[in-house]
């Protein structure tokens, strides 16, 4: 794995220090643990940027901050919706902006922590959410198409109008595939074009973005495997059973997410347990690759090597970089 460009505090804008800070990276890279230490060192409050952690009752499989972690730092944007509730990027943007305004109003710093690229972008750029309200009839037609012809055929339809978006979406992520088709049908514009436009339209708040990466890909994969094992040992299977007992269908969008989909398949008798566990680990590795591709496309991210370092050490390095900016600001004032 090629290492991104190393961090250099001198290039960070002094005017950015009072605004938003973001900590990104692939799944299992330790973002939450580093974020807790960083929040304590900076006096910041954390805004979760994870598209699954917004759902109630889905704690283990989403790697939601533990009660201990939530006691060590103030978190926002957790447990905002029930699993059967329609939740959109626009909903997150409204909630996240309100949280950031509240945090800044208290004289603190919003610290965005998570691996959902669009959520990070929604709070660090002037992200213009496509003016294409949900069209349930349109969505139902394409869900029917996927059932009749298969997910691969649906993804091929996306590829015909937007090859770049099709390349980054998982074949089973039919929700985002249908959304790409829906936006194009309503606006005549592709998600790739809209994302590129938003990427070029950076926020006036000049946020600082840090990213955690591992030079040794196998190290990250070992962390992924270990985290999956810990989730399962902590009751992931029982969590999914509990969701089903609450009446949440296995066909709901959150229940089709990574990990939940495989365990639901096991409960339905469609996968052996060993196969379900192996698939979760393999798909999580693939997901981490897609996350890295996304974040490497954001030139604002300053990458921090995480190999062999503790969350406290990583947070300390980031804090030093921010202090460096303050010193540079003082010299220039």
Give which of 5, 56, 60 is closest to 234, Cα–Cα.
60
∠ CA 199-212-326, rounded to 5°: 75
- Rounded CA separation 302/217 (Å): 19
Residue 203 is predicted with a pLDDT of 46
**In this structure, are residues 220 and 211 in contact, taking their beta carbons and an 8 Å threshold?**
no
**Which residues does 72 contact at the CB level (< 8 Å), separation at least 6?**
36, 39, 40
Which residues on adjacent β-strands are paired with residue 210? 23, 302
Question: Each residue of 118-129: pLDDT tens digit?
Answer: 999 999 987 666
Residue 186 is predicted with a pLDDT of 83
Which SS3 state, helix, strand or coil, does residue 46 take? Answer: strand
| pLDDT tens sequence for the chain (333 residues) | 334 444 444 333 334 444 899 999 999 999 999 999 999 999 999 999 999 999 999 999 999 999 999 999 999 999 999 999 989 898 999 999 999 999 999 999 999 999 999 999 999 987 666 656 778 888 889 999 998 899 999 999 999 989 988 988 888 888 889 888 988 888 888 888 876 766 555 444 578 999 999 999 999 999 999 999 999 999 999 999 999 999 999 999 999 999 999 999 999 999 999 999 999 999 999 999 999 999 999 999 999 999 999 999 999 999 988 766 544 444 554
**pTM of the full structure:** 0.77
Q: Could you tell me the domains of the chain? A: 9-128+201-332 (3.40.50.300), 136-195 (1.10.20.140)
Residue 306, both tokens: 């995480």
In degrees rounded to 5, what are phi and psi of residue 170? -75, 145
**In this structure, are residues 12 and 302 in contact, taking their beta carbons and an 8 Å threshold?**
yes
Quote the radius of gyration of the chain (alpha carbons, Å).
20
∠ CA 170-185-136, rounded to 5°: 75
Report the first-to-last Cα separation within the chain, whole angstroms.
Answer: 41
Among all chains, which residue has been given the structure tokens 């090597």? 305
């Amino acid at each position: 794995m090629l290492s991104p460009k190393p961090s250099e505090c001198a290039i960070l804008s002094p005017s950015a220090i009072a605004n938003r800070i973001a900590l990104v990276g692939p799944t299992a890279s330790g973002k939450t643990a580093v974020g807790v230490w960083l929040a304590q060192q900076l006096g910041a409050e954390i805004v979760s940027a994870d598209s699954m952690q917004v759902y109630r009752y889905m704690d283990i499989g989403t790697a939601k901050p533990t009660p201990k972690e939530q006691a060590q730092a103030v978190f926002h944007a957790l447990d905002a919706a029930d699993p059967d509730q329609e939740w959109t990027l626009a909903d997150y943007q409204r909630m996240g902006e309100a949280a950031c305004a509240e945090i800044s109003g208290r004289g603190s710093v919003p610290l965005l922590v998570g691996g959902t690229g669009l959520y990070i972008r929604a709070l660090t750029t002037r992200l213009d959410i496509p003016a294409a309200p949900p069209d349930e009839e349109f969505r139902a037609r394409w869900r029917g198409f996927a059932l009749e012809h298969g997910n691969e055929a649906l993804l091929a339809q996306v590829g015909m109008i937007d090859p770049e978006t099709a390349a980054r979406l998982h074949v089973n992520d039919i929700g985002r595939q249908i959304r790409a088709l829906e936006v194009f049908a309503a606006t005549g514009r592709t998600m790739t074009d809209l994302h590129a436009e938003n990427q070029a339209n950076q926020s006036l708040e000049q946020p600082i973005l840090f990213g955690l990466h591992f030079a040794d890909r196998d190290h990250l994969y070992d962390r992924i495997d270990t985290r999956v094992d810990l989730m399962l040992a902590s009751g992931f299977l029982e969590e999914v059973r509990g969701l089903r007992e609450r009446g949440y269908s296995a066909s709901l969008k959150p229940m089709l997410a990574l990990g939940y989909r495989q365990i639901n398949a096991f409960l339905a008798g469609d996968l052996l347990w060993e196969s379900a566990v192996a698939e979760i680990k393999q798909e999580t590795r693939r997901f981490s690759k897609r996350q890295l591709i996304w974040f490497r496309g954001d030139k604002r991210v300053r990458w921090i090597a995480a190999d062999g370092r503790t969350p406290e050490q990583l947070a300390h390095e980031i804090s030093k970089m921010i202090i460096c900016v303050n010193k540079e600001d003082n010299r220039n004032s």
